[in-house]
Structure 1
Amino acid sequence: MKLLTVLFIGLIMMGPSDPTFKVGEVAPDIALPNMNGEIVKLSSLRGQMVFIDFWASWCKPCRKENPQIVADYMKYKDEEFENGTGFTVYSISLDKKKEAWQKAISKDSLIWTTNVSDLMGWKNEAALRYKIGSLPMSYLIDGDGVIVAVNPRGDKLEKALKKNRKSESWFKSLFGY
């Protein structure tokens, strides 16, 4: 039993070796209920940079990264990007228990309004569509829904956001880097 637990935790921490969707592709739409039971579509966030974050309250690596995601959200939520205005997070929980999901959102200060879940665990509609096999997993999409980064965890999320800022693109075009 211990060996199975170690293998399961290892799979969660490794992440997928071959993500389903790649940079340059349009991220498929997702429509899941928020904590109030209202359906929130990923496509309703078009026009903004969006961090699609697959996570769960029981996933220690996910919870460890949440403070950085919150910091990036606070820093970039009103930023102008090459293809989008503002930055938000579309958090997709693979929890099965609503209380655990809500408690984690509160404890980790996930203050954006797009925390969604169908409470189906690994059978979550979006997780199946995106073929999520381990957590955490994420995509950063631009204002047109085009994937600009796959699984940008930790400081890689901020680097991707900086790279896509409007001021950064002006600087790059002027100075060639």
Structure 2
Amino acid sequence: MRRTFTAIATIAILLVFTSSYNSYDVSVDINSFAPNFEISKLGNHFKLSETRGNYVIVNFWTSDYAEARIRNIHYDRFFKSIGKNLSFISVNFDDSDNMFKELVRTDGLSEVSQFYEKDGMESEVYKRYRLKSGMNSYLLDKDGKILAINPTQQQLTKYFCQ
């Protein structure tokens, strides 16, 4: 009887812990650590955790979300003007790789920092960053902690131009 109770209790505890675990249950709030992700294109591989030691702007965008596309252009230009101690990574979730490439060309973006996520809104990075309600951008400190969400020009100037 005692063994049965112990076995049932052990199974119940395991079920509680495994059912409550969600691999995407990571905070993407200010002062939390940004979820790591990896993305590749044409032999170029990017892993967020490899940017430790630099500030990072992580931008997520689609062509149909104008605000995120405009932010992407501003961040790309800001990165080109600063360069040192700052990394910039931009991930696009459009349905078409060709559309993405054309937008990078049309908007005059640096191809090095622009990545296309072929799995779009079904991708791991999309889920980890909980982008359901819209695209966001994150300013990360040298340890990968989120300093700002959708940082403004004033916030970027505060961190990098003083």
TM range (shorter): 0.7 to 0.9
More helix by share: 2
Mapped partners of 1:22, 1:66: distance in 2: 20
Mapped partners of 2:35, 2:72: distance in 1: 24
The residue aligned with 1:52 is 58
The alpha-carbon deviation at position 145 of structure 1 amounts to 0.8
TM-score normalised per structure 1: 0.68
The alpha-carbon deviation at position 77 of structure 1 amounts to 1.5
Aligned: 1:32 with 2:55: no
The residue type paired with residue 55 of structure 2 is M
Q: 1:37 to 1:123 in 2, by over 3 A?
A: farther
| Structure 1 vs Structure 2 CA RMSD | 2.2
User: Where do 4+ consecutive residues of structure 1 move more than 6 Å?
Assistant: none
The residue aligned with 2:141 is 142
Identity of aligned residues (%): 26
TM-score normalised per structure 2: 0.73
SS of aligned partner of 2:139:
strand
Q: 1:60 to 1:126 in 2, by over 3 A?
A: same
* Number of equivalences: 137
Mapped partners of 2:54, 2:61: distance in 1: 21
Determine which structure has more spread, i.e. the larger CA radius of gyration: 2
Structure 2: gaps of 5 or more residues: 1-25
Q: 1:66 to 1:92 in 2, by over 3 A?
A: closer
SS of aligned partner of 2:118:
coil
**Do the aligned residues in 2 keep the contact of 1:117 with 1:124 (CA within 8 Å)?**
no
